[in-house]
Amino acid sequence: MAVKTEKIQYNQLPRPTFRWMKVNHLELDPLKAQAAPAYTPEERHDGDAAVIFYEGNQMPGLGDFQGSNAEELQKALNQANSGCAVSVGENQKGSVHLKYSLSEAMPQLTAQLKIEAAAHSDLTVYLEFDGSADDGSVNFLTYVKTGEGAHVKVSKVQLNGENVRHVEHRYGDAGKESTIDYVSAELGGKAAIVYYKTDLMHDESNFNSQAMYLGHDDQVVDFSYWVPTQGVKTNTDILTTGALLDTSKKFFRGTIDFLRGGKKAVGSESDTCILLSPKVHSISVPLLLCKEDDVVGNHASSAGQIDKDKLFYLMSRGFNETGAQLIIVESNIRPVIDALGDKDLENKALQAVREKMQFCRKKGDCHAKCTQRFPHLD
């Protein structure tokens, strides 16, 4: 008799809704636990940024932050095989590149990344994830703390292999007049699950997130955001855009939580999805919770096929359908890739997009024609 295994629930919606829709969380089978050695990522840094690698848990208290899944978060806190602290001092500026690679020798990464920017500093952290392993997993906790007037940008390109479950819990605490910027390209993994919570409790603090994805095969991409705002004149801007191929699924759960006292706050969230196959699933749950009247909150969500007029126009200019589709998808996600701010990461993300589009196309007979006409796509 088969033993029934309990599923793991990721990315619980802060305010659940109808159960029959099955959108309140993502449910996946548990992963097989594997031994993983201590791990140090590839690293380089510029300017005034300081980087320290550590063992054990050096995270500060995270309050009621539950992460994508409370148990997974506890593992990242107490059983991490990689720890890294990045910081800049007051009025300093710097950048750090970190690359985390999975392999059969290092199939499971459980890691902490602590980013602290002192007052009026400017710090950019570039994160790259790649590599694969059977039943591989990434369980990554990122903590971002900005001092008054500081600016932190985290640019991430995730290119894990097709057997990897990539989970990231990201908690941000934005200081007065500071800004936390996230730019993410979630392109790899069998499941890419990201949970971002950023507290905007201080006046004029800002949170911006741009994320893109391209789902293929039976990949699951799950974005969850929760931004409680209580500071005066805070600004929240969440943009998620991408496309789905084959039988892939995308979940977007965005919650902007305007708390009482957060006057003059502005928040917007947008989720755009291009549907490239009849069997894809696009799920969108954009929440606006509002206990303060003096705010402006907006959300927008759209899903549909590629605009036929655009396709016709490009094809009338000599592109075949595949080439035209690729151009349109690229134009949709390109602003996010361009915002990564690092040429090497941008190229890797772009290359991954093109490979994925062709991975799909290779299944048809149009691939040869397409690559003959557009050799740069191969």
Q: Which residues bind other proteins (CB under 8 A)?
A: 15-19, 21, 23-24, 258, 260, 273, 275-305
**For helices 321-338 and 343-361, angle between their N-to-C axes, nearest 10 degrees:** 150
Report the alpha-carbon distance of residue 130 to residue 354 in Å, rounded: 17
Least distance in angstroms from the C-beta of 266 to other proteins: 10
Our CA angle for 138, 270, 170, nearest 5°, is 30
Contact status, residue 122 vs residue 157, Cβ threshold 8 Å:
no
218 versus 344: smaller Cβ distance to other proteins: 218
302 versus 372: smaller Cβ distance to other proteins: 302
Report the alpha-carbon distance of residue 277 to residue 80 in Å, rounded: 39
Least distance in angstroms from the C-beta of 297 to other proteins: 4
Least distance in angstroms from the C-beta of 296 to other proteins: 5
- Could you write out the three-class secondary structure of 267-333? EEEEEEEEECCCCCEEEEEEEEEECCCCEEEEEEEEEECCCHHHHHHHHHCCCCHHHHHHHHHHHHH
Contact status, residue 88 vs residue 51, Cβ threshold 8 Å:
no
Least distance in angstroms from the C-beta of 299 to other proteins: 5
Report the alpha-carbon distance of residue 188 to residue 173 in Å, rounded: 28
Least distance in angstroms from the C-beta of 224 to other proteins: 14
167 versus 274: smaller Cβ distance to other proteins: 274
50 versus 283: smaller Cβ distance to other proteins: 283
Mapping DSSP to helix (H, G, I), strand (E, B) and coil, where does residue 32 land? coil
Least distance in angstroms from the C-beta of 258 to other proteins: 8
50 versus 290: smaller Cβ distance to other proteins: 290
277 versus 358: smaller Cβ distance to other proteins: 277
